Amino acid sequence: MSRDKSFENPEEIAKLLDVISDRIPALIKGLMNSFFSPEAASNMGKAVAEFRRTLIEGGIPEDEAMEMTREYLRTLTNMRGIMNGAKIGSFEHKDEE
């Protein structure tokens, strides 16, 4: 089995880490924007409405369907809490709002 010798050099490792430290924050920001853009909000609203409609059409009583829908929405929106304050290595995301 061959081994990549380029990563045994500390300068190469430092260059790699510099590239990663530039790209990870941009990746996190892109993920945040994909969850919290106007389009994402519209899609989330449609998903929640469809979830509730499906429960009711499936025979779930209205009050139970509403509670299940609230829990579904909490699950979807909890991602913001997970992402806010997420720490990856030395990068810590702080919500800019």
Quick check: pTM over 0.75? no
Q: In Å, what is the CA distance from 44 to each residue of 32, 55, 96?
A: 14, 17, 21
Q: Give tens-digit pLDDT for 34-77.
A: 777 888 889 889 999 999 999 999 999 999 999 999 999 998 87
pLDDT for position 52: 97
Long-range contacts: 41-45, Cβ < 8 Å, 24+?
44/73, 44/76, 44/77
Q: What share of the chain is helix, strand, coil (3-state, %, to 5)?
A: 75, 5, 20
The whole-angstrom separation of Cα 67 and Cα 26 is 36
